[in-house]
Structure 1
């Protein structure tokens, strides 16, 4: 449904009879009630958003040909859709994750199908088995080591805080600052002691809190068992699923080329960045392990994850990795960490990025930095991860809209000359 024109809305209000105006006002009230029930659900046990939306739709049905009524229905439908997605997010997350995984793996299945004449269901099954096998291997081999290093790092951080507390109690520098009235030693030591005690109490219950946040064990097992099945069918029927999803988007000049173009940009970016991040994390972790740097696996994992954030991510990974090496190893370990990450960045910029990310994002570096800051401000770490592909999609949509507007202006100019 295309949004109603502003002039049509104004004319619909001027030309509508009294009873239609009353119905439109009632629809507007229902839209406000929908917003209220979405914002304060605890105050309306009966007036839930679906009930309000249905009542508003029935109220506006007699005047559904009116442009203002269509605008109210469209606004209410968008709000109800957002509410439904938010309420069913825990159910949608596995499906969205599987579709994203199928989106990244589709070129492999397509190549096996077209180049080697492998039936699509066979190639989908093979790819699904390989992905599940890699996931289980990572869980069995890597996850225990990560958990052990996280636990050891947490306890060493608490030990360092206790050492800092003892230093504060005996340091002559702190005594001079206290004598000058800059700080209060007793207050500082008491607050630091309370913080250490709180963190010590939290450590044993960290695993239980994680399990409680993801739900019951049976529910987790059920979801994990369903993911391979969903992935197989999504890969097998990916072209039809993709076409159905593309058909949901509005057209620009009668076409949906901008969706295909944006999908290609995002797909290339995610595939390439995933491969580069994996290579970066493995290289850094292996090199640090060979040099005997403590927490080598955590630093490698940190570098791999932060590598998803272009330009800013490697800098943050270098700073955090250097701090971990300096605090829990020594200055030599910190130098080794910085040297290894710098060497990895040199390899990435000179070899990996030109070979793997052979596409052109078409985004200016200043726009990329602005997108990172803006998305990070509104959405945190998740915003940093999606900033570049989301900006690419928005830029592609804007270009499609601009081309459609140019065509409409040209047609309007030709009509005026006639």
Structure 2
């Protein structure tokens, strides 16, 4: 997951400057210092009985959870042991480029989609296509797609993920007779009613720079479809295209229903207004539940962002995926592949989720008996998706996300009437970055 609890790795939850450093590091900008492997490193002829594991879950609860899951592997591995190399989450991401070019651990944590493909395209990670021949049945087609490089080979094993959607409190909606909107017009009508009822229709925060990226993503793939969305973020489409303009015009229609002064508010504060029953809805990831006390969590529900263009319906879901890659030349290739095969199974994923109940297992055979109703709904929504996106700052060039996208969205929120200038600026920067 990427950035809810630091343990589940949702990128957007770090401070703004930290996120920029992370993105630039991922883009290939050298970071100072090195993320050293602790098991002898790539291609060094390490101990055939030891597998080294690069871990980015540094907060104590998720660290303990992934440690327990990995250590359970030792008991069924036929004599293998795992040496875990844990680095502070932010530092891990800052140094990943140098790490992969040096002597990385045999198996290492990372993210699916563009961020995985970025390093696979450079030949810095191992081909897992043969392994996928064995584990493919554990995953949906959408998850396989998110684990596949531009050459059609697989380089990633999914572990956990979470979904974005419109979150709300069931008790508030029941009390006021609100119904889940199926279309954009119904969403506008609902927001209008909420405003008349004295609620903030849509909680919103943009101080940290990234939350608005989620709003853009939902609107773009609902209006223009999955393929245009990923092509735009990959620099293959023009930000001044009329289809992008339609996205911002639609967003402009919704902005009056958003919480005011978003640029001075952090996502946690906006989530608290939902918890306090001051807001009616919040477009965010499932980690919104972190701001709810245990007694209120059962009252939290969500629905996928409603349909805008019938051609695309609601076939795309934003569900960032966290998982693991193999080093290009692992010291223990056989052991690393065995560990990855194990991590693809339901057992370690469910064990991990006991510590992070805002995420769900990626293995589609995982027993959901221990899931909360919200987790079950997240899992079903992801399972039924035709396409899965990772979030804007994971689906595009890190340099574009950290500068052009962040600044452009902030400028649009400040002055929605200035969209033509905003899109020209984003288009100009895209041309320089995607050469």
TM-score (normalised: structure 1): 0.20
Determine which structure has more spread, i.e. the larger CA radius of gyration: 1
TM-score (normalised: structure 2): 0.20
User: Greater relative contact order: 1 or 2 (C-alpha under 8 angstroms, separation 6 or more)?
Assistant: 2
